[in-house]
């Protein structure tokens, strides 16, 4: 089988069979926002995510990762399931977890399917095929590759937005040495004059259209940051304890077009997606791993999640949280103790959202 167009059609069909919702193919070439990315890193917007500043040259072109690469098959899976019940979602006694973490780790779910896709291509090409697969782990500017493959446009919230799916999308890439038929970037869809994401960001992390200061982003603060959360940013975090979906949830494209896809590893369950803050604060490290060890929440680490929970309890402001916070302020990890003490001061000063 040698016809590039025919092979490309078949590989897309097989990708859909494997459970991917959207598939596109881009040339293995230098990505369009390489210079902007380097400027972003140099400006310090990556914060403590030192891995994003490593191998900058390799991020500019997928051929640095696979020299013989000719094509990149880009896949996307919608992680929209359903909107949670409003009463639960707005309950300040519960901690919000970002949608993508409402179940098993997406890396574990998507990587085997990319390997199957690579194996299929190897079996159906006359010449040997070299390949490498990535799911949000390698030094790739994957949104740029998705842009080139026709999977959407980059929004002012810096997310990839597909005009028919919105932005709740997992991305994966398969670099292959085979010359395939390439898709074109889409021309339909822009943000226009809309600034809802910038206006809604609780911490002002979107410092300008298309520019995110990670150091202020709630996702960064609750997941990537290993130290104390800056005090000025704690109150705006509300009850987010792992990640944040605000800039996506207000986007008109996502509000109108987000829909459930073929994924089978996420679902809304209150105890997992918006759990009781007091219940979480009582967890020891073993209980944390038992509960979250196979989910993306494990990335925050036990003490990081409890740090976030303490902040959310302070923002709740209910005196009912005082006993648990006092215990955490005396017995827990040093980072948790600091944030528990802050939460206690906030509650005693009557600065939370709790109303009797």
Q: What is the 3-state secondary structure (H, E, C) of the chain?
A: CCCHHHHHHHHHHHHHHHCCCEEEEEECCCCCCHHHHHHHHHCCCCCCCHHHHCCHHHHCCHHHCCCCCCEEEEEEEECCCCCCCHHHHCCCCECEECHHHCECCHHHHHHHHHHHHHHHHHHHCCCCCCEEEECCCCCCCHHHHHHHCCCCEECCCCCEEECCCECCEEEEEEEECCCCCCCCCCCCCCCCCCCHHHHHCCCCCEEECCEECHHHCHHHHHHHCCCCCCHHHHHHHCCEEECCCHHHHCCHHHHHHCCCCCCCCECCCHHHHCCEHHHHHCCCHHHHHHHHCCCHHHHHCHHHHHHHHHHHHHHHCCHHHHHHHHHHHHHCCHHHHHHHHHHHHHHHCCCCCCCC
325 found inside a domain:
yes
Indicate whether 20 belongs to any domain.
yes
Is 75 inside any structural domain?
A: yes
pLDDT score for 183: 97
Same domain for 145 and 282, yes or no, is no
Q: Contact, 344 vs 325, CB < 8 A?
A: yes
Distances (CA, A) of 81 to 35, 78, 201, 267: 35, 8, 23, 6
Same-domain pairing of 158 and 303:
no
As a residue count, the chain comes to 356
| Whether residue 152 sits in one domain with residue 9 | yes
For residue 3, the model assigns a pLDDT of 86
Residue 183 located in a structural domain: no
Note whether 287 and 170 are same-domain residues. no
What digits encode the pLDDT tens for the residues 40-59? Answer: 999 999 999 999 988 888 89
**pLDDT for residue 355 is more than 80:** no
What's the pLDDT tens digit per position in 143-178?
999 999 999 999 999 999 999 999 999 999 999 999
What pLDDT sits at residue 354? 52
Same domain, 162 and 215: no
Kindly state whether residue 261 falls inside one of the protein's structural domains. Answer: no
230 and 304 fall within a common domain: yes
| Per-residue pLDDT, 44 | 96
CA–CA dist 196, 271 (Å, integer): 30
Among 356, 353, 272, which residue's Cα sits nearest to residue 317? 353
Q: Tell whether 356 is covered by a domain.
A: no
User: Which pLDDT tens digit goes with each residue over 335-346?
Assistant: 999 999 999 999
Among 91, 136, 183, 213, the active-site one is 136
What are the structure tokens assigned to 19, written together?
Answer: 């459970």
Same-domain pairing of 23 and 150 = yes
For 53-67, 268-282, 286-300, which range has the lowest pLDDT when averaged over its residues? 53-67
Please state, in angstroms and rounded to a whole number, the distance separating the CA atoms of residues 300 and 322: 24
Answer whether residue 32 shows pLDDT above 60.
Answer: yes
| In contact, 158 and 98? CB cutoff 8 Å | no
Q: Is residue 185 part of a domain?
A: no
Mean pLDDT taken over the chain: 95
| Under 8 Å between Cβ of 276 and 93 | yes
Task: State pLDDT tens for residues 173-219.
Answer: 999 999 999 999 998 889 999 999 999 999 999 999 999 999 999 99
Q: pTM for this structure?
A: 0.95
Tell me if 62 sits within 8 A of 140, measured CB to CB. yes
Higher pLDDT, 285 or 188: 285
| Structure tokens given for 184 | 């074109």
pLDDT in tens, 222-238: 999 999 999 999 999 99
Among 128, 143, 176, the domain-final residue is 176
114 within some domain: yes
54 and 25 in a common domain: yes
Q: Are residues 131 and 238 in the same domain?
A: no
pLDDT band with cut points at 50, 70 and 90 for residue 69: very high
Per-residue pLDDT for 353 more than 80?
no
pLDDT at 1: 47
Same domain assignment for residues 237 and 293: yes
- Model confidence band, residue 2 (pLDDT cutoffs 50, 70, 90): low
Q: How confident is the model at residue 14 (pLDDT cuts 50, 70, 90)?
A: very high
Residues 127 and 223 in one domain: no
Q: Average the pLDDT over each of 117-121, 268-272, 350-354 and give the range with the smallest value.
A: 350-354
In percent, the amount of the chain with pLDDT more than 90 equals 90
Do 206 and 159 share a structural domain? no
Residue-range definition of the domain harbouring residue 40:
4-84+98-176
> Residue 109 in contact with residue 265, Cβ under 8 Å?
yes
- Is position 83 annotated as part of the catalytic site? no
What mean pLDDT is predicted for residues 316-334? Answer: 95
Number of structural domains in the chain: 2
């Amino acid at each position: 089988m040698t016809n590039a167009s025919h092979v490309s059609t078949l590989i897309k069909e097989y990708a859909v069979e494997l459970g991917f919702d959207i598939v596109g193919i881009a040339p293995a070439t230098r990505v369009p926002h390489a210079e902007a990315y380097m400027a972003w890193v140099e400006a310090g917007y990556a914060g403590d995510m030192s891995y994003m500043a490593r191998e900058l040259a390799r991020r500019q072109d997928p051929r640095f990762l696979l020299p013989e690469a000719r094509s990149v098959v880009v896949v996307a899976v919608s992680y929209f399931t359903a909107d949670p019940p409003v009463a639960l979602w707005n309950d300040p006694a519960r901690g919000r977890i970002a949608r993508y973490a409402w179940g098993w780790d997406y890396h574990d779910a998507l990587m085997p399917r990319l390997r199957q896709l690579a194996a299929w291509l190897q079996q159906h090409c006359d010449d040997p095929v070299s390949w490498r697969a990535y799911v949000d782990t390698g030094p790739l500017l994957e949104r740029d590759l998705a842009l080139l493959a026709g999977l959407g446009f980059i929004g002012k919230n810096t997310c990839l937005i597909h005009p028919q799916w919105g932005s709740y999308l997992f991305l994966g890439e398969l670099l292959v040495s085979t010359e395939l038929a390439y898709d074109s970037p889409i021309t339909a869809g822009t943000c226009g004059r809309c600034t809802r994401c910038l206006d809604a960001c609780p911490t002002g992390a979107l410092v300008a259209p298309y520019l995110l200061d990670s150091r202020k982003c709630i996702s960064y603060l609750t997941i990537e940051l290993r130290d104390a959360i800056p005090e000025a940013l704690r109150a705006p975090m509300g009850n987010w304890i792992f990640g944040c979906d605000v800039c996506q949830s207000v986007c008109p494209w996502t509000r109108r077009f987000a829909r459930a896809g073929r994924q089978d590893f996420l679902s809304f369950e209150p105890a997992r997606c918006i759990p009781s803050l007091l219940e979480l604060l009582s967890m020891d490290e073993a209980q944390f791993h038992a509960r979250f060890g196979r989910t993306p929440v494990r990335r925050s680490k036990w003490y990081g999640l409890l740090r976030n929970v303490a902040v959310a309890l302070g923002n709740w402001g209910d005196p009912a949280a005082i006993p648990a916070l006092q215990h955490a302020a005396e017995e827990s990890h040093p980072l948790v103790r600091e944030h528990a003490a802050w939460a206690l001061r906030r509650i005693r000063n009557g600065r939370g959202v709790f109303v009797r």
